[in-house]
Structure 1
Amino acid sequence: MATLRLNEWRRWTMRLRRARPTLPMWNGNTVLLIDSLLSASLCVGLALLLPSPAMPTGLAALLSLTGFVWLGVAIARACPPFGSGHLTAWDAALLCFGSSFCVQSAARLGAFGP
């Protein structure tokens, strides 16, 4: 019968480390862009649950709220708003505020129906 040898734990951790699947390394720009697009798509999904006349206003409000959340993340991280060379939470906040402005403008122009 096989026994458990406690002094061989180093070899087991090395085997487990080698057997662990590795994920592709993504840079910070890709991760932040995916996170901001996921938050915007969550806003669109929630706005689709609203009645048709209230959908553009609700979507613009949700996107603005998401922009404020990203702004809070940017302030909490204390990252510089410009000159960093890569995307930051400030850029995600601007993306959400910009998309909210675009939805409001499209609703005023009648793109969502009468």
Structure 2
Amino acid sequence: MGTARETNAALLTDWLLSMCLCVSLASILPGSIAVWALAALFSVAGYVWLALAIMQAGPPAASPHLTAWDAALLSFAASFCVQTATYLGALNP
């Protein structure tokens, strides 16, 4: 494995690609359900990253670089942000 900086860049790139896939899938849906589908897809991505973390990554703490645990948390946070923004009316179509 490379340096912590290279590992962080690789993980963030993989996470961004998974988020782009979620946005792409939600963008083909009608506007009335696209935002809620996006939040659901972000949650599903979070569960996929969580499964990956449970199967492959080490403990969530004491790691000098980002792990799949961090990617799962980022995905769940993105889902929460989309849900909150929609609830507050910022993303209503």
TM-score normalised by structure 2 residue count = 0.91
Distance 1:105 1:61 in 2: 13
Match of 2:41 in 1: 62
Structure 2: gaps spanning 5 or more residues: none
How many pairs were matched up? 90
- Give runs of aligned pairs for residues 17-96 of structure 1, distance below 5 A: 27-96=6-75
Distance 1:56 1:113 in 2: 8
* Match status 1:111 vs 2:51: no
In the TM superposition, structure 1's runs of 4+ consecutive aligned residues that sit over 2 Å from their partners are none
Identity of aligned residues (%): 56
If asked which structure has higher relative contact order (CA below 8 Å, sep 6+), I would say 2
Q: Shift of residue 56 of structure 1?
A: 1.1
CA RMSD after TM alignment = 1.5
- Specify the code of the residue in structure 1 equivalent to 2:12: L
TM-score normalised by structure 1 residue count = 0.75
CA contact (8 A) 2:45 2:72 kept: yes
Distance 1:73 1:88 in 2: 10
